[in-house]
């Protein structure tokens, strides 16, 4: 008996993992990014803050932060405007 060949063209493509529901409902703001960054600095220290860690804490892609802040220095400089 010949081996059965599966037809994968009818299978649905794998979907990317979804972010938590809260992140999908709330728009990302400069304020939310800044508050999360300050929390991370309080917890781990200024030297430990990276854009990648900040993005992980916000459940977003790191490049998304750059839509709101040019770089880490701009982000940290914004805290002085408070």
What string of pLDDT tens digits covers the 82 residues of the chain?
A: 556 655 555 554 555 445 555 555 578 999 999 999 999 999 999 999 999 999 999 999 999 999 999 999 999 886 654 4
8 A C-beta contact, residue 63 and residue 25: no
Per-residue model confidence (pLDDT) at position 41: 95
Q: Quick one: DSSP state of residue 14?
A: P
Instruction: Give the residue from 7, 19, 15 showing the smallest Cα distance to 55.
Output: 19
Residue-range domains of the chain with CATH: 22-81 (1.10.10.60)
What pLDDT, on the 0 to 100 scale, is given for residue 40?
A: 96
DSSP notation for 19-62:
PPHHHHHSPP-HHHHHHHHHHHHHHH-GGG--HHHHHHHHTS-H
The CA distances from residue 25 to 9, 28, 29, in Å, are 33, 9, 12
pTM over 0.85: no
Residue 9, pLDDT score: 52
């Amino acid at each position: 008996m010949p081996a059965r060949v599966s037809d994968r063209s009818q299978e649905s493509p794998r979907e990317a993992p979804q972010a938590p529901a809260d992140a999908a409902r709330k728009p990302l703001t400069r304020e939310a990014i800044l508050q999360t960054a300050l929390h991370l600095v309080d917890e781990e220290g200024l030297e430990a803050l990276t854009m990648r860690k900040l993005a992980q804490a916000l459940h977003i892609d790191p490049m998304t932060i750059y839509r709101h802040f040019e770089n880490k220095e701009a982000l940290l400089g914004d805290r002085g405007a408070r």
